[in-house]
Amino acid sequence: MDLNSLLPKKLNFGAGDLVEMRYLEKVFGIHRRTASKYLSVLHLEPLYIGKEVYFSLTTFKRIMYILTKPGQPGFLFPGSAGKASRKRKNKGDFITEVTDDILEQAAQPSVLAEMCAAEGRDISVLKKFITPAPGRPRKEDTK
């Protein structure tokens, strides 16, 4: 048996990895239908290439980073034991779908810098995305 056939395929087009949906199945030990629901509640649109289904691993990681930051409400994933609990659902400090506010936070360049810093990476490359450009503004920008 070929070991590569067991691993989810990963494609890289320079802007992050596209990973086969099997990645979620393997990492979380869930079925394909539940993995599809995960993408849906996280507002990640799948990409269908041939017979395979892919999603952006970079975007997935950014959303998960925001969901796990201190002060965020808890998140109940589809098929989780917590989601079946009425007590937990009715308590109100858990959400079952990513909100627009969370998506906006995940889209911020500063989140990428925080993630790199949390992993111990050199963030000097990302500083140019966070800080304003030095010098005077262009004429087009001042109008």
What are 27-67's pLDDT values in tens digits?
A: 999 999 999 999 999 999 999 988 899 999 989 999 999 99
Domain boundaries, the chain: 7-131
% of the chain surpassing 70 pLDDT: 70
What are 85-143's pLDDT values in tens digits?
A: 666 666 667 888 899 999 999 988 888 888 877 777 665 655 655 565 555 666 665 55
Q: List strands edge to edge, sheet with 52-56.
A: 10-12, 17-20, 52-56, 47-49
- C-beta of residue 108 within 8 angstroms of C-beta of residue 63: no
- C-beta of residue 8 within 8 angstroms of C-beta of residue 22: yes
Strands (E), 5-143: 10-12, 17-20, 47-49, 52-56, 74-75, 94-95
Task: Return mean pLDDT, the chain.
Answer: 79
The first and second tokens of residue 128, run together, are 């140019």
